[in-house]
Structure 1
Amino acid sequence: MDLILTNDRTTQLTKWIETACLWEAEAPKAGNVHPHASFADLTYQDFVRSARATAFMLSRIDQRGIAKSILDAVKTVKLQIGRNTNLGIVLLIAPLAAASRDGSIEDHIAQQIDELNVADSRLIYEAIRTAKPGGMGTTSEQDLSAEPTEPVREIMSLAADRDLIARQFSNNFADVLGFGRDRLETWWERCPQDRNQAIVGLHLEWMANYPDSLIARKCDEEIAMESSVRAKQVLDLNWPETVESQEEFAKLDAWLRDDGHRKNPGTSADLVAATLFVGLCEGLISC
């Protein structure tokens, strides 16, 4: 790839990654930080700064590789923000960005994941340790406290039944490229004049169909399932068209926030950002 094409791609990737992250952060999603709702230790501006740092680091992925780009992005965010704001987004967007280089993401994502070896696993473990995400716990195989001894796909497959981000590495991002892309198109068509509303709808869809694994880790699977059921109730009431659905959304939002941010549906938000990135790459949506 010559220098001009490299610079053009870097500029385009920066725009797509930053836009996906900023749009996800801006939408007033249930239980998440947004311009009108903060956590005690996180504000919307923290996510804005994280988006810009992440876009800069991941846009150089063709030159640095997936795992090194993940580590660099996480370290940069930690240095600038002082805490973990977007580890899940970084883990999801990095392989998608790499796969977008040669055309269709869906056609190239499996190869990108297959090429991640044990050395890449070590870099990703370092990134996760640097971010210190909540509720990780311990496992009997390939625990984060030890050095990994398997390639990335094999390690992620071990966690795929309990972590939706690991699941994407295991199934070649089938959920993002299938369910996510489909629901993105649906909500963009349904809310053509209100981007934030479309993104909130997409977030509800992820919550309703895939119980949030961050909630499951920090609380338990029962609470994660309850959050999923509540999100489905909002959608079933024809959100956002009906008053009943808006009232149910407000109840969901309040319930998710009533214990600090232990019930923050953060994995769902990460999957929203990844879905938006795919949509921007493929021209399904535009910025």
Structure 2
Amino acid sequence: MTPRSTAQNAELALLLEVAGTPKPGNVDRERDFEDLRFEHFLAGAVGARPGLELAAEGERVGHAFERAVAGMAEQSAGNTQFGALLVLTPLVAVASEGDLTPESADRVVRATTVADAADFYRAFEHVDVAVDEPPEGLEPLDVRRGSDAIPALEERGLTLFDVMARSADADGIAAEWVGEFERVFDAGERILVDDGPVPDRASRLFVELLAEEVDTFVVTRNDRETAEEVQRRAQAVLDGEENATELAEELVAQDINPGTTADLVAGALFVALERGLVV
């Protein structure tokens, strides 16, 4: 059997993540949002592949990410996997160089440049992304300004790692960037030691991660109280007090989408695939 390339494993991780069912509040094989469907995620994963290949070939992380987002956005629903690609792109870069470890991932993201940060901002011009309002005085660095914010980035000399560090307290993906992707690597090991069909492992992992920490995307789109309630109910699923499928139906109906948790699952699946998960 011919081994898959690193970029192929990243694409497969995106596909396996959305195939996991149920994942309360997220699109999966059995649940769609009104304007965001299962097929859009499949198309987004395929479209992101060229950008992921750039990361595997040694292109700058920021540029590879921007190209992956541009490709992802070519399906008709817009943003499907922005956060997942922000996790996967540096990990693909790391894996292409050798051992995929937290230490090597930390080295790669700390080596990002101002040019990488500029590409990150350009990526916001391809899709709409839910983000918090910038702190007072930092309006020039609002990511929603896209390329218009690049002069402010350059003036301050901010690298992509610096940008992530400024958001790490409020954003779960940024926290991974500055924390050696701790949750992603831990979750990847859980995938490996679990058994059964991989999408089922992804579904179980999703609920576990959702119960462990509030989903920062829910905090941004809804509020912290809602995120804490979702966390509590995910724990209730693990305790056998609630049904995961029923919770999934309810959260989708209420438009509550724990997207950050799904992004972490995609990263975990990639780590597991790179470490020998057989599919």
Q: State which drifts further: 43-52 or 59-68.
A: 59-68
Q: TM-score, normalised by structure 2?
A: 0.88
Q: State which drifts further: 60-69 or 135-144.
A: 135-144
Match of 1:92 among 87, 90, 101: 87
Match of 1:33 among 27, 32, 35: 27
Higher relative contact order, chain-length normalized (CA < 8 Å, sep 6+)? 2
Residue pair 2:112, 2:161 contacting (<8 A) in 1 also: yes
Q: How does 1:59-138 map to 2 (within 5 A)?
A: 59-61=53-55, 62-106=57-101, 107-138=103-134
- Are 2:183 and 1:183 aligned? no
| Residue of structure 1 equivalent to 2:142 | 143
Q: TM-score, normalised by structure 1?
A: 0.85
State the alpha-carbon separation in 2 of the partners of residues 224 and 33 from structure 1: 18
Q: How does 1:153-168 map to 2 (within 5 A)?
A: 153-168=161-176
State the alpha-carbon separation in 1 of the partners of residues 104 and 189 from structure 2: 19
Residue pair 1:134, 1:218 contacting (<8 A) in 2 also: yes
State the alpha-carbon separation in 2 of the partners of residues 233 and 77 from structure 1: 34
Deviations 1:24-54, CA, capped at 9 Å, x for gaps? 1111111111222111111111111111111
How far off its partner does 1:171 sit? 1.1
Deviations 1:34-83, CA, capped at 9 Å, x for gaps? 22211111111111111111123202212422111111111122233351
Q: How does 1:1-80 map to 2 (within 5 A)?
A: 12-28=5-21, 29-61=23-55, 62-80=57-75
| Residue of structure 2 equivalent to 1:4 | none
- CA 1:18–1:249 in structure 2 vs 1: closer, same or farther (change >3 Å)? same
Q: State which drifts further: 225-234 or 76-85.
A: 76-85
State the alpha-carbon separation in 1 of the partners of residues 228 and 132 from structure 2: 18
Aligned residue for 1:200, secondary structure, equals helix
State the alpha-carbon separation in 2 of the partners of residues 56 and 124 from structure 1: 17
* Count of residue pairs brought into register by the alignment: 263
Residue pair 1:89, 1:270 contacting (<8 A) in 2 also: yes
| Residue of structure 1 equivalent to 2:259 | 266
| Residue of structure 1 equivalent to 2:278 | 286
- Are 2:181 and 1:173 aligned? yes
The gaps in structure 1 that reach 5 residues or longer are 1-7, 238-243
Deviations 1:226-285, CA, capped at 9 Å, x for gaps? 111110111122xxxxxx55xx323422331232x2x111111111000000111111x1
State the alpha-carbon separation in 1 of the partners of residues 274 and 182 from structure 2: 16
Residue 50 of structure 2 aligns with an amino acid whose one-letter code is F
The alignment-based identity, stated in percent, is 27
- Are 2:208 and 1:205 aligned? yes
